[in-house]
Amino acid sequence: MALLQISEPGMSTAPHEHRLAVGIDLGTTNSLVASVRSGEASTLADEQGDHLLPSVVRYLEDGGVVVGTEAKKALGSDLENTIASAKRLLGRAVSEIKTLAGQLPYRFDESEGNVPQIETRAGKVTAIEVSSEILKALKDRAESTLGGELVGTVITVPAYFDDAQRQATKDAARLAGLNVYRLLNEPTAAAVAYGLDQQADADNKIIAIYDLGGGTFDVSLLKLNRGVFEVMSTGGDSALGGDDFDHVIAEWLLAQSGQQSTDDAHVLRAAMIEARRAKEALSDAESVDVCLGEWTGSLAVAEFNALAEPLVKKTLLVCRRAVRDAGVEKEQIADVVMVGGSTRVPYVRQRVGEFFDKPPLVDIDPDKVVAIGAAIQADLLAGNKPDSDMLLLDVTPLSLGLETYGGLVEKIIPRNTTIPITRAQEFTTFKNSQTAMTVHVLQGERETVEESRSLAKFALRGIPPMVAGAARIKVTFQVDADGLLSVFAEEESTGIKTSVEVKPSYGLSDGEIESMIRSSMDNAKQDVSMRRLREQLVEADRSLEALDSAMAKDADELLNETEKQALLDAREALVKARESDDADVVKSAIKHMEKTAETYVARRMDSNIQAAMSGHNITEFES
């Protein structure tokens, strides 16, 4: 198949000309832009020589907008008009922001549709618009440094960003006037920066990316093979980062100086500043002199390591899980790449090295490594390296499933399945003459509907009346390469179909995915008891249904009034027990009803046995 090459106006197609393309690391705290120049990828600095652009945007009174360090300075004085961490809001709905709003200093306009808007003096702005200001600033920096217009960019996103978040990132880029070649996963970019895909032994090579930023921790396992990247698993903690190291040192300083119970903001602030200084100094010193107010002392590396240990251990447990999610053993991991400023802490490097049993890769500046990888990919997609065939295969970040009888979730596509994927499952009717079935599509790791995220709900109607269990309803899930889900339902004997494209206008955030996965673990016990209850409820319904349908047929012939009444009483007791939320109560009521029905069942069998036997070979009854 011939691919059409579509050139944009003003875009040069001269083969020998180097086309200007950049990689952008759009971060929660800081953003960077990098480009390949004379075969070398490097980040671009602003006029002051700074490479990191703080991801902060301030809307001024005169209608102007400032981005970066200047805007960051106003975080203390003009909070409402100065937006930081917009990345956390990208691709989220108003309803999702509400829970977060208490922690964020912004005023949200909740009236409009799904996209949350922050009220500033410049009017209402969305996270997409804020992000586009950051991208514009980086675009301007790149064009003035490189001396020409950019033809394309590669922007990095966390590996677990869902479709809505990716879409929002793309929208921000479009708004900034950037042509996006591709969104690239951050861990993949880091691997590309180290050229791990280019090595001779790169067949089936597994690498781990350990990314400890200021406020977030992520780990990803990738598999590389001849230029193909495969995300095997991801994991993380959206509330763990370098700032926590500062906190533990600050607490130690306060304790040592006898001020542990102070709530003096100035002292706390001074402790945090001193803590950060001490942490950085300890990167290449055995101990550092510290002071807090009148108090002076010294912090030794061993002491700091002991303080940091619980934090580091947490990250390693997340690594352990990611390794298992990938279905590999630690020994199979060939390389560990360190990303994020907090991986400069020697103790972090040491413990990560011990965990994976190999020294981690630290040669490239951990703040810049993602942007550098993005720049290399951008250069390639711009056509500056026509011989490469790099391809990234992606996976689903969360499990996708359906509601089944009793409020349980049946997983159709488990998390970490390679996409695109199509998967079908057959369901059947639960009741006699059931003519419609609701298809409720859910996302998440939990076992019950209430605790999963509802993506869509639609009905398959017109199922011909049949006895329970006779209809064959095939539900097909299709996830495309961009992570978009479509669901189809079809009754196979009649061919009646219905379908829906599940395209949420917002997505789950990194934090939500993390907390959904986490709470699925925390509540696993509760799930099990809930599941038991639900199973008993389903069982109860089945028994009631069976009894009712049998009694409607031949109760009058086979039972006398007393027997019939006893059975109806047992039935009533079960209906009552069903209302309790105790699996054992329901179970014993089912038992009681079944026991009461024993004589009835025996008589039914007697009266039916002849008809039943007529269709069977006698040997079937011998065993």
List the catalytic residues.
25, 87, 186, 211
Structure tokens given for 613? 């036997």
In the bound state with other proteins, the residue whose beta carbon lies nearer, of 68 and 444, is 444
Smallest separation (angstroms) from other proteins to the CB of 381: 10
Residue number, 4 or 618, with CB nearest to other proteins: 4
Q: Is 560 in the site for other proteins (CB under 8 A)?
A: no
For other proteins, give the closer residue by CB, 46 or 162.
Answer: 162
- Out of 251, 280, 480, 541, point to the residue binding other proteins (CB under 8 A): 480
Closest CA to 348 of 324, 316, 375: 316
Give, for 335, the enclosing helix (H) or strand (E). Answer: strand 333-339
Q: Does 423 sit near other proteins (CB under 8 A)? A: yes
Q: Is 421 in the site for other proteins (CB under 8 A)?
A: yes
Tokens standing for residue 573: 């007791």
- Going by their DSSP bridges, the two strands 295-300 and 400-404 should be labelled as unpaired
The rounded distance, in Å, linking the Cα atoms of 488 and 427 is 13
Q: How far apart are CA 139 and CA 221, in angstroms?
A: 31
* Residue 420 binds other proteins (CB under 8 A): yes
Closest to other proteins by CB, 417 vs 599, is 417
Q: Which stretch binds other proteins (CB under 8 A): 112-120, 252-260, 268-276, 421-429?
A: 421-429
417 binds other proteins (CB under 8 A): yes
Asked if 337 interacts with other proteins (CB under 8 A), we say: no
* Contact between 174 and other proteins per CB under 8 A: no
Should residue 11 be labelled a site residue for other proteins when binding is judged by CB under 8 A?
no
Query: Which one-letter DSSP state was computed for residue 384?
Result: I
Among 6, 200, 265, 618, which residue interacts with other proteins (rule: CB under 8 A)? Answer: 6
Site membership for other proteins, residue 300 (CB under 8 A): no
**d(Cα 260, Cα 609) in Å, to the nearest integer?**
82
Phi then psi for 163, rounded to 5 degrees?
A: -60, -45
- # binding residues, other proteins (CB under 8 A): 36
Q: Which member of 79, 239, 291, 521 binds other proteins (CB under 8 A)?
A: 521
Handedness of CA 550, 555, 558, 561 (dihedral sign): positive
Q: Does residue number 324 form part of the binding site for other proteins (CB under 8 A)?
A: yes
Least distance to other proteins from the beta carbon of 524, Å?
Answer: 6
Q: Identify which of 485, 484, 452, 487 has the alpha carbon closest to the alpha carbon of residue 473.
A: 487
**Under the criterion CB under 8 A, does residue 532 sit at the interface with other proteins?**
no
- Helical H segments across 298-368, by residue range: 301-325, 346-356
Single out the residue of 208, 162, 154 nearest to residue 183, CA to CA: 154
**384-413 residues near other proteins, rule: CB under 8 A:** 389, 391-393
By CB neighbour count within 10 A (0-12 exposed, 13-18 middle, 19+ buried), where does 411 fall?
Answer: middle
Query: How far, in Å, CA of 365 to CA of 343, rounded?
Result: 10
Longest CA pairwise span in the chain (Å): 99
Shortest distance, position 590 Cβ to other proteins, whole Å: 21
- Binding range to other proteins, per CB under 8 A, among 162-170, 248-256, 519-527, 543-551: 519-527
Q: How far apart, in Å, are the Cα atoms of 204 and each of 193, 227, 268, 501, 534?
A: 18, 10, 50, 35, 44
Give the C-alpha separation, 481 to 168, whole Å: 17
CB nearer to other proteins: pick between 399 and 596: 399
C-alpha span between 156 and 27 (Å, rounded): 9
Query: Is residue 604 at the binding interface for other proteins, with CB under 8 A as the rule?
Result: no
Of 34-42, 49-57, 214-222, 520-528, the segment contacting other proteins by CB under 8 A is 520-528
Residues lying near other proteins in the complex (CB under 8 A) are found at 1, 3-6, 203-204, 225-228, 313-314, 317, 320-321, 324, 389, 391-393, 417-423, 478, 480-481, 518, 521-522, 524-525
